[in-house]
């Protein structure tokens, strides 16, 4: 292999040019100050209507929404259970046990993790409008996750439980938990499972999320949005 001649004038000039460029780069001072981000500017636009935004995002993600009120939500729950012909339902709300017994809906208060049932019933006090997510806390959930328990997850919640963003929901939980560790277990966003012949194939791993949202009384000047006909409560949850 031929040796490189370090005394070659062209090679020497090339090296000097590189050194000069490096010195210039190190001594050059940018006269334009760097732009500092506005740390007070919110990442997202404020949500004007948390109720409508949540419903739209929840349904768009694949969730099933059933509007109801204090007087009829038990009636609709029984219609769902009977219409879907659940053989067994996991009920985590002791207050509803007597109603399920009265209407002969077979239910249990606990299950083995490797023995999923047809449906599981939970209460949630945290809904996130931005994503359409449902939060589950340790106070109402004795399981590590609501998934892998049943093909249908029935969630009962209230309109007042809708928060614009995750930070608002977490702040509420901390405030009502004595500012200690947040009791949240998980946030779940509905998903659309694989379809066979146009029919969704729900499984315990990819369950159908059915939300029974108890709507609150509103002033006449701010009425709740009227549900579309396909959203009307029935024993068959609609998109």
Q: What is the CATH number of the domain that holds 108?
A: 3.40.50.10420
The two three-digit tokens of residue 233, written as one number: 């409560």
Say whether pTM exceeds 0.75.
no
**Using CA atoms, how far apart are residues 103 and 100, in angstroms rounded to an integer?**
5
Closest CA to 126 of 93, 153, 152, 160: 160
Strand partners, 128: 133, 163
User: What pLDDT does residue 31 have?
Assistant: 62
How far is it, in rounded angstroms, from Cα 73 to Cα 63? 18
Tell me whether residue 226 is in a domain.
no
Does any domain span residue 79?
A: yes
Closest to 186 (Cα-Cα) out of 114, 110, 133, 131 = 133
Q: Assess if residue 153 is contained within a domain.
A: yes
Tokens 């809906």 — which residue? 105
Residue 150 is assigned to a structural domain of this protein: yes
Does 173 reside within a domain?
yes
Reduced to 3 states (helix: H, G, I; strand: E, B; else coil), residue 14 is helix
Give the model's pLDDT for residue 44. 72
Residue 172's pLDDT is 86
Q: Cα separation of 90 and 206, whole Å?
A: 17
What's the rounded Cα separation, in Å, for the pair 66 and 235?
10
Domain carrying residue 57? 50-213
Question: How is the chain split among helix, strand and coil, in percent rounded to 5?
Answer: 30, 20, 50
Can you tell me which residue has the tokens 């277990």? 185
The reply to whether 207 falls in a domain is yes
- Quote the number of domains for the chain: 1
Residue 16: the pLDDT is 78
Determine, yes or no, domain membership for 29: no
Note whether 169 and 225 are within 8 A (CB). no
171 alpha carbon, distance to own chain's centre: 16
Position 67 in a domain: yes
Q: Per-residue pLDDT tens, the chain, 239 aa: give them.
A: 455 555 566 666 677 788 877 877 777 666 666 666 666 666 678 888 999 999 999 999 999 999 999 889 899 999 999 999 999 999 998 889 999 999 999 999 999 888 999 999 999 989 999 999 999 876 555 788 888 999 999 999 999 999 999 989 888 888 877 655 656 678 999 999 989 998 999 999 999 999 999 987 755 444 444 444 333 334 444 44
């Amino acid at each position: 292999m031929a040796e490189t001649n370090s005394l070659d004038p062209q090679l020497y000039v090339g090296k000097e040019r590189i050194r000069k460029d490096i010195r210039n780069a190190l001594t050059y001072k940018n006269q334009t100050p760097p732009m500092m981000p506005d740390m007070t500017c919110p990442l997202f636009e404020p949500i004007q209507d948390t109720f409508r935004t949540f419903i739209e995002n929840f349904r768009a993600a694949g969730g099933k929404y059933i509007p109801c009120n204090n007087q009829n939500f038990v009636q609709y729950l029984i219609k769902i259970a009977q219409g879907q012909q659940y053989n067994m339902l996991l009920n985590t709300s002791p207050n509803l046990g007597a109603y399920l017994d009265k209407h002969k809906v077979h239910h249990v208060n606990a299950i083995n993790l490797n023995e999923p049932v047809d449906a599981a019933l939970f209460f949630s006090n945290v809904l996130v409008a931005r994503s359409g997510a449902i939060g589950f806390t340790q106070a109402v959930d004795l399981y590590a996750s609501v998934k892998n328990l049943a093909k249908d997850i029935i969630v009962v919640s209230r309109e007042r439980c809708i928060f614009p963003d995750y930070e608002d929901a977490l702040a509420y939980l901390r405030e009502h938990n004595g500012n200690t560790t947040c009791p949240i277990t998980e946030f779940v966003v509905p998903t659309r499972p694989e379809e066979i012949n146009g029919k969704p194939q729900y499984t315990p791993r990819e369950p159908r999320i059915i939300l029974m949202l108890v709507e609150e009384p509103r002033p006449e000047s701010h009425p709740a949005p009227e549900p579309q006909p396909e959203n009307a409560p029935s024993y068959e949850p609609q998109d």
